[in-house]
Amino acid sequence: IMLSALVTNDTAFHPSTFILLGIPGMQDQHMWAAIPFCSMYILALIGNGTIIYIIMTDRTLHEPMYLFLCLLSITDLILCSTTLPKMLTIFWLRSHIISYHGCLTQMFFVHTVFATESAVLLAMAFDRYVAICRPLHYTSILNAAVIGKIGLACVVRALLFVFPFVILIERLPFCGHHIIPHTYCEHMGIAKLACASIKPNTIYGLTVALSVTGMDVVLIATSYGLILRTVLRLPSKDAQFRAFSTCGAHICVILIFYVPAFFSFFTHRFGHQVPPHVHIVLANLYLLVPPVLNPLVYGINTKQIRLRIFGFFMGRR
């Protein structure tokens, strides 16, 4: 059935529903496209669920590095779960309709959890900096109370910066079509449907991206610059190798998270030559690839996690 037939002549300031189109130009392939996305989602649930369970139940892993990893896995689970279930209903059940408030709720969680995960990655970089550059003060600087406060700060910062997105959308009138050419609701995708100026939305969106996520990247790079300087001063090559190996997994996770995210972000605003279906696929992958790969990266590169995962699946603790 034609999606346009689902659109009502709703001329209210705010529509009662939006229609999520899916992947533009690939509607005929939605059934098949859902299979790899569903498989990746299942892997993300299993991988992150296993990491959380192992860290929470093994008291020997209640150290700052592993507690931050647990927090990362929790945000990964929420990040992919904000979009994948609805996407799969679009692809398999052709359930394209989402309520106005449901759309805003999904937008709020997508951006909030993404900003939270960026802050968690920064906290993990700080953890590695203290462990390598200030090892004698590690346990005093990063005790349980401090870790709890850092986790709370990550969430509060995200809420404070993302909540204005809701206000900026609420102020807009929607008097045209209500079709969103996407698989989930995000700020600019909704704003572009408005029949009024969205300049404040564009400016604030860029400001948040550069001042929050961009600043996180700068601070993470600074942390690893200081770590590199400290490691290169170590007298033993073996000590240098051990120091680098503790940071290897985290660097991989950082690249997995930020590279596709920034590529999608700048393509959305400046890459007008990029086909819409390519952008939509990338926008889904940057929310799904990190939750899938993070447990694998830490499982392979972190001996303590690797051994416990092996023992977990072999049926012994």
User: How much of the chain is in helix, strand and coil states, percent to nearest 5?
Assistant: 75, 5, 20
Over its length of 317 residues, how does the chain's per-residue pLDDT go in tens digits? 444 444 444 445 788 999 999 888 887 888 898 999 999 999 999 999 999 998 998 888 888 888 999 999 999 999 999 999 999 999 999 899 999 999 999 999 999 999 999 999 999 999 999 988 888 889 889 988 999 999 999 999 999 999 999 999 999 999 878 899 899 999 988 998 999 899 999 899 989 988 888 899 999 999 999 988 888 887 777 777 777 777 777 888 888 888 878 777 777 666 667 777 888 888 888 889 899 988 888 877 777 777 777 776 666 54
Residue pair 174/193 in contact by the 8 Å Cβ criterion: yes
CA dihedral 283, 285, 288, 289 (to 10 degrees): -140
Token pair 């509607």 in the structure block, residue: 27
Burial of 277-302, coded b for 16+ CB within 10 Å and e otherwise, reads: bebbbbbbbbbbbbbbbbbebbbebb
Answer yes or no: pTM beyond 0.85.
yes
CA nearest neighbour of 189 among 76, 24, 35: 24
Q: What are phi and psi of 251, to 5 degrees?
A: -65, -40
From residue 170, give the alpha-carbon distance in Å to each of 97, 100, 156, 297. Answer: 19, 10, 22, 40
Q: Give residue 305's Cα distance to chain centre.
A: 22
Residue 186 per-residue DSSP state? -
